[in-house]
Structure 1
Amino acid sequence: MKLLIVDDDSLVCRSLQILLGKEADIEVIGIASSGREALELCKQELPDAVLMDIQMPLMNGIACTAELKKLYPALRIMMLTTFNDEEHIRSALKAGADGYLLKSAAIETMANQLRALVSGTAVLDRNVFKAIIEPEHNTLDGLTEREQDIVECVAQGLSNKEISEKLYLSDGTVRNMLSIILDKLELRDRTQLAIYYWKRK
């Protein structure tokens, strides 16, 4: 995985570059101190994933994320920040962020979450999830109550096995219901489903 780190704190950048660079499957191809610098480096290096801070000079992480997603829709962007409030979380997800982690997360957790992100899984830190209040619209149009329960579990980042255990359903039933839900909402996969859930507000 080719990774770009974006943060205006040079100490944070260097630390992440060293620690994540020790992972055999992660190559830190560059660091940027602003959104504008990140845009230039992405054009030059074409990374697989970006670790993006929110508060930066010249262009903040949310604005940069929105711009990068327009230019490179397949690029996976993980917000990495100290902000753990609903406004920043929702703004980041609406801008196109694929994941949201806190800087307090352990390096091993960051590495694993980045791998999950690149493989196509939406990632929300559990502490971040707790900070998000229930969306304004409590129902998902066209879905049964049980289907809505499954969508909420997917939005929390639970696997099919975890969903089946939580809702007392078989793995096969969860898979079948997920397929039905995706068809009803005209979405491609569970990643889109999770982002769809959090963008409704």
Structure 2
Amino acid sequence: MIRLLVVDDHPVVRAGIVGLLADADDLDVVGEAADGAAATALARELRPDVVLMDLRMPGTDGVAATGEVLAAVPTAHVVVLTTYETDADILRAVEAGATGYLLKDTTREALLDGVRAAARGETVLAPSVARRLVSQVRGPHDRLTERELEVLGAVARGLSNAQVGAELFITEATVKTHLLRVFAKLGVDDRAHAVMVAVRRGLLRADHGG
């Protein structure tokens, strides 16, 4: 059972999100918070697996709250759920440690899939967010860096983000940032497709050894 904390400063929106997810057999909405400070306190108390985090809230915003939640509960995975999709917002959220970035116009099934993927430690991107990042890095800069190839090679061997970070002596948040850029450069939105495309392009060996 995936333990879920929903954070949004608008009560009607928050109730709508909870209502969408409440009848899923494998999800348990264990708490709701109206701001970042409350989210951190509840996360510390309830130890959720996934936190759906609004981005712009009064007081402690979603980016700051993401960092605070993950500091309090390192095993949690934060998925930003917002109406905003600027490049700056996306990168700030990922660099704070967010596992995913979804938009509030997403379908129920896509939201459920995103929560489940996040619980497995996978990076989750709304298609329009992925397209923004693709357009941002297309052109002469779309080759993977050596570090991005190292991260992708480790992912191809089945390592989690935390394990990749430990192996390469970088933080889990940095691993997520590298993967986000890999996804954008390869035009994909998940780990499996990133590995598949990288193998097809000859960037990784077919045995996934890097």
Q: Which interval holds the TM-score relative to the shorter structure?
A: 0.7 to 0.9
Checking the alignment, whether the CA contact within 8 Å between 2:49 and 2:76 is kept in structure 1 is: yes
| Consecutive unaligned residues in structure 2, runs of 5 or more | 157-178
Q: Percent identity?
A: 28
Question: What count of residue pairs does the alignment treat as equivalent?
Answer: 174
The answer on 1:54 being equivalent to 2:46 is no
| Consecutive unaligned residues in structure 1, runs of 5 or more | 181-201
Tell me the TM-score normalized by structure 1: 0.75
Query: CA separation in 2, counterparts of 1:116 and 1:175?
Result: 24
> In the TM superposition, what is the alpha-carbon distance from 1:168 to its structure 2 partner?
3.8
Query: CA separation in 2, counterparts of 1:175 and 1:155?
Result: 22
RMSD (Å), alpha carbons: 3.1
Query: CA separation in 2, counterparts of 1:162 and 1:76?
Result: 21
Tell me the TM-score normalized by structure 2: 0.72
After TM superposition, list the pairs within 5 Å mapping 1:132-171 onto structure 2.
132=133, 133-134=136-137, 139-141=144-146, 152-153=182-183, 156-158=188-190, 160=192, 164=196, 168=200
> In the TM superposition, what is the alpha-carbon distance from 1:162 to its structure 2 partner?
7.3
Aligned to 1:37: 38
Query: CA separation in 2, counterparts of 1:163 and 1:35?
Result: 35
Distance 1:175 1:97, change over 3 A: farther
Q: Which amino acid aligns with 1:47?
A: P
Checking the alignment, whether the CA contact within 8 Å between 2:10 and 2:34 is kept in structure 1 is: yes
Aligned to 1:12: 13
> In the TM superposition, what is the alpha-carbon distance from 1:60 to its structure 2 partner?
0.3
Q: Which amino acid aligns with 1:17?
A: V
Structure 1 residues 170-193: Cα deviation after superposition (integer angstroms, max 9, x where no partner): 9x94452xx42xxxxxxxxxxxxx
Query: CA separation in 1, counterparts of 2:49 and 2:19?
Result: 18
> In the TM superposition, what is the alpha-carbon distance from 1:84 to its structure 2 partner?
1.0
Distance 1:45 1:86, change over 3 A: same
